[in-house]
Structure 1
Amino acid sequence: MNRRPLYWLMLTLLLVAMSELQTMGMLPDMARSLGASTAAIGAFISIYSFGMAIGGPLIAWALRQVAPKTALLGVVTAYAVLEAAVPLVHNYWWVAALRLLTGTLGGAVFGLTLTMAARLAPSPDRIASSISIVLNGLMLGAVLGLPISHAVATAWNWQTSFVALGGAGLLIALLDLRTLPILPAASAQTTADELQQLRSPRLWSRFLVSLLTIGATYGAFSYFTPLLEQDAGFSSHATTAILFGYGLCTVIGNNLVGRYADRHAVTLLRIGHLVLAGSLVLLALFAHLPWAALPGVLLVGLVGVTMNPALVVRVVEVAGAGNLVNTVHTSVITLGVVVGSAIGGAAISGTGGTTAVAAMWTGAILAILATCALTAQGVARQGNTSLANAGVADTVQTQTRPAGCHVVHGGSPGVGGQAACP
């Protein structure tokens, strides 16, 4: 498998992931410059995520019959221009509008990179490994986005961070132009098939598992800093090092899941959900003990967002690897981030706001709900398989028994019934 295009797609996704979190590392500087509160600047992350969740599928629909490479180049270029334009405005609401637009384009980039990764896989049983390479950009962006933006803002100013990422986006667009292969655009029939799949309850049940899994992870991760510093007693520098270790664990876990998800997606998700829930319960019960908090955080890094390749494979199994389905899936994942963080924040506020432990409990509950949803899917699938097998057996027996025989005792021969022959 030629992995070079996958690494360029990884860099493209890295750009989006770094941009999503960059304002978190520059909150005080942006607040002073724009005359807004720190909380108002923090809302830029939610605004960006909202754009990804809602706007991404709209752009995917608008570009549904454009070749993936052409669509990606156009979206990344527009993204880079809008990112670099942020320092040109000096009003909070104009910056918020630009963050909403870049979030919308970011959602489209996410969907397009995953679609191209799936289509570049050498065979259907290598889709997860291809996707995991690209998703490394998401993992690394979450690790690097905040500290790099903070360092740039400290050395120069917050505007420089936006200009730098905008310039990087234009450079990546040029590299994508030279290195990415040309893939055919989706046909009208393919688009119609995707729309039909999006009406499938089976697909949305898998989307639900994705939302709960990512919601469980981010419901806890969003509050790791106060948990480590206030509850566990780590210093600010130690917390930074631990969060960096968390990021490295996400990269390791993502590659491990990607290696085995094509053949063992359900097993990986079951194990991942159980370990995730157990790790969050550990953090909730023993957050005040540094020796328990540290491995708990690292375990969440290994089994949280790293389940993305398995989640994507489960969606591809029932709906294919089309751009529209992938973009809607990334929107669901983004909603998981927003919902999980909001529930965790509400739990902390509801318990007095003095400790982040409540967010660990809500994360554990969401992980358990994800396990229940996955189990319910397995039970439903086994039930459908049993009914199908019973129908086949009944048909075979009907075709093979002698003329004049009939089934009695309410079953089919060999499945609880008996054949009565004259």
Structure 2
Amino acid sequence: METTGLAAPRTERATTRRWLAVAVVGVGVFAMITAEQLPVGLLSRIGADLSISDGTVGLLVTAPGVVAAICSLLVPLSARRMDRRLLLAGLLLLMVVAQVMTVLADNLPVLIAARVLVGVTIGGFWATAGSLAVRLVPAHHVPRATSIIFGGVAAGNVLGVPAGTRLGELVGWRAAFLTLGGLGLLLFVGMLVLLPRLAAAAPIDLTALRTQWRNPAVRAAMLATLLIVAGHYAAFTYLSPLLRDVSGVGAGMVSSVLLVYGVAGLVSNFIAGSAAGSALRRTVAVVVFALAATVLLFPLLGVTTVGGFALVLVWGLAFGGVGVALQTWIIRVATTGAEAATVLNVTVFNFAIALGAFAGGFIVDNLGLSTMMWVSGALIAVSLLTVLSARTTTPLADSAA
């Protein structure tokens, strides 16, 4: 079995095996995103089955977000010397256990417990996988490899969530989670076979994390992540009731709308990944502006089925480029501390998911869907100030190497 130590591959060409390793990590991300986001498409059905409100069902997104934020720090610290291949495979196996618990759950507390396990897997997986591109391929291939890994995010939205939602519509929401568990088992085997042994880059400890925290450019990227992701998930978590109550989309059409969102996000992920390599600031600014505008305009222009479909398309195009753009930003400004900086940013990312889903649920239950969209859009818009005010002497600048 091939072993990779501290540095990225030094050969000018990445081998086929390395690209297969990148691909399997991307598919693992796909599974994690599907596990995290599947309740969004099935929210109304889960709520009806368990007799709970939409806002309460939103806890199925909030709970894993909170746990993932904590575990994105704890897992790398506790497994800092562990082979990354074994760590990722073990986290996938834990994800399978969580899906089995979900299938068997007959009340909200058990379902929340299963989602807590999902949070553990997401936090550990993201914190580890996010920086692997620099370990698996030569430097000039890193933007492409990062796009493939983060393509799992868009693929989860374009395939995983719509397919799971459709399966839930046809045979019940539990069947969707059971299928996801089966995929997790296949990925567990694939990870062990295709990924090379990967020793921890520089063992992550509190000193490494403090070093990255003291980097103003890293802090700026994390602040942008917090605002963008919290704003997005405050709205996106409640997309199903939003489409139902604002756009008049029938329950049987939600999977089709999510497919539109996912396809747009998949396309945007690779466009943004390519653009970020040479124009990072501009790429981040464009996707954030488009995201803010879409969310803010939804209560006004999304009041018909056609309008709802169109805005979800733009929404997918906008958010599809966010993940790869933010990760490219983090890798650049962190220089040699990419893994530690990624851990910090993943922590912020998952905390933002939990914060957004919780705040969105509170606003939906107390002030309504339209108010929630305006608050979410405003939060995303504020993040533009962080993006545009970053010092041009940092690697965020378009001209930076």
TM above 0.5: yes
Which of 284, 303, 306 is 1:288 aligned to?
303
The verdict on how the C-alpha distance between 1:190 and 1:91 changes in structure 2, with shifts beyond 3 A counting, is: closer
Q: In the alignment, residue 46 of structure 1 is paired with which amino acid?
A: T
Identity of aligned residues (%): 22
Query: What is the CA distance between 1:93 and its match in structure 2?
Result: 2.9
1:136 aligns with 2:151: yes
Partner of 1:364: 377
Which of 77, 85, 101 is 2:93 aligned to?
77
Query: What is the CA distance between 1:372 and its match in structure 2?
Result: 0.6
Alignment map for 1:167-186 (pairs within 5 Å): 167-186=182-201
The verdict on how the C-alpha distance between 1:271 and 1:153 changes in structure 2, with shifts beyond 3 A counting, is: closer
The verdict on how the C-alpha distance between 1:244 and 1:159 changes in structure 2, with shifts beyond 3 A counting, is: closer
Structure 1: gaps (5+ residues): 383-422
1:334 aligns with 2:350: yes
Is contact 1:68–1:112 with CA below 8 Å preserved after alignment?
yes
Per-residue Cα deviation, 1:335-381 (whole angstroms, up to 9, x for no partner): 22233344444444554x2xx33233223312221111112223686
Q: In the alignment, residue 375 of structure 1 is paired with which amino acid?
A: L
Q: In the alignment, residue 76 of structure 1 is paired with which amino acid?
A: L
Query: What is the CA distance between 1:90 and its match in structure 2?
Result: 5.4
Query: What is the CA distance between 1:152 and its match in structure 2?
Result: 4.6
Partner of 1:265: 280
CA distance in 2, matches of 1:343, 1:305: 22
- Asked which structure has the greater RCO (Cα within 8 Å, sep 6+), the reply is 2
The verdict on how the C-alpha distance between 1:341 and 1:165 changes in structure 2, with shifts beyond 3 A counting, is: closer
Query: What is the CA distance between 1:133 and its match in structure 2?
Result: 0.8
Q: In the alignment, residue 133 of structure 1 is paired with which amino acid?
A: I
Q: In the alignment, residue 83 of structure 1 is paired with which amino acid?
A: Q
Partner of 2:329: 314
What secondary structure is seen at the aligned counterpart in 2 of 1:253? helix
CA distance in 2, matches of 1:47, 1:322: 27
CA distance in 2, matches of 1:223, 1:310: 25
Partner of 1:397: none
1:57 aligns with 2:35: no
Which of 109, 112, 118 is 1:96 aligned to?
112
CA distance in 2, matches of 1:93, 1:344: 21
The verdict on how the C-alpha distance between 1:357 and 1:126 changes in structure 2, with shifts beyond 3 A counting, is: farther
Query: What is the CA distance between 1:106 and its match in structure 2?
Result: 1.7
The verdict on how the C-alpha distance between 1:25 and 1:109 changes in structure 2, with shifts beyond 3 A counting, is: same
What secondary structure is seen at the aligned counterpart in 2 of 1:267? helix
CA distance in 1, matches of 2:305, 2:111: 40
Per-residue Cα deviation, 1:300-347 (whole angstroms, up to 9, x for no partner): 211124221111111112224644432331221222223334444444
Query: What is the CA distance between 1:138 and its match in structure 2?
Result: 1.7
Partner of 2:260: 245
CA distance in 1, matches of 2:348, 2:240: 25
Per-residue Cα deviation, 1:159-215 (whole angstroms, up to 9, x for no partner): 544443333222211111111122332344887434421343432221011121222
What secondary structure is seen at the aligned counterpart in 1 of 2:59? helix
Is contact 2:59–2:358 with CA below 8 Å preserved after alignment?
no
Partner of 1:388: none
Query: What is the CA distance between 1:230 and its match in structure 2?
Result: 3.0
Normalising by structure 1, we get a TM-score of 0.78
The verdict on how the C-alpha distance between 1:179 and 1:201 changes in structure 2, with shifts beyond 3 A counting, is: same
Query: What is the CA distance between 1:284 and its match in structure 2?
Result: 3.8
The verdict on how the C-alpha distance between 1:316 and 1:346 changes in structure 2, with shifts beyond 3 A counting, is: same
What secondary structure is seen at the aligned counterpart in 1 of 2:353? helix
Is contact 2:163–2:255 with CA below 8 Å preserved after alignment?
no
The verdict on how the C-alpha distance between 1:357 and 1:81 changes in structure 2, with shifts beyond 3 A counting, is: closer
What secondary structure is seen at the aligned counterpart in 2 of 1:209? helix
Is contact 2:58–2:361 with CA below 8 Å preserved after alignment?
no
Root-mean-square deviation over aligned CA pairs: 3.1
CA distance in 1, matches of 2:351, 2:214: 19
Which of 292, 299, 304 is 1:277 aligned to?
292
Q: In the alignment, residue 279 of structure 1 is paired with which amino acid?
A: T
CA distance in 2, matches of 1:244, 1:164: 18
Query: What is the CA distance between 1:245 and its match in structure 2?
Result: 0.7
Structure 2: gaps (5+ residues): 1-13, 396-401
Partner of 1:419: none
Moved more, 150-159 or 172-181: 150-159
The verdict on how the C-alpha distance between 1:287 and 1:317 changes in structure 2, with shifts beyond 3 A counting, is: same
Is contact 1:129–1:259 with CA below 8 Å preserved after alignment?
yes
Q: Which has the larger radius of gyration?
A: 1
Partner of 2:4: none
CA distance in 2, matches of 1:343, 1:121: 40
Partner of 1:404: none
The verdict on how the C-alpha distance between 1:378 and 1:350 changes in structure 2, with shifts beyond 3 A counting, is: farther
Normalising by structure 2, we get a TM-score of 0.81
Partner of 2:135: 119
What secondary structure is seen at the aligned counterpart in 2 of 1:64? coil
The verdict on how the C-alpha distance between 1:155 and 1:365 changes in structure 2, with shifts beyond 3 A counting, is: closer
Between the two proteins, the alignment pairs up a number of residues equal to 377
Is contact 2:167–2:176 with CA below 8 Å preserved after alignment?
yes
Per-residue Cα deviation, 1:367-400 (whole angstroms, up to 9, x for no partner): 2211111122236869xxxxxxxxxxxxxxxxxx
CA distance in 1, matches of 2:292, 2:103: 42
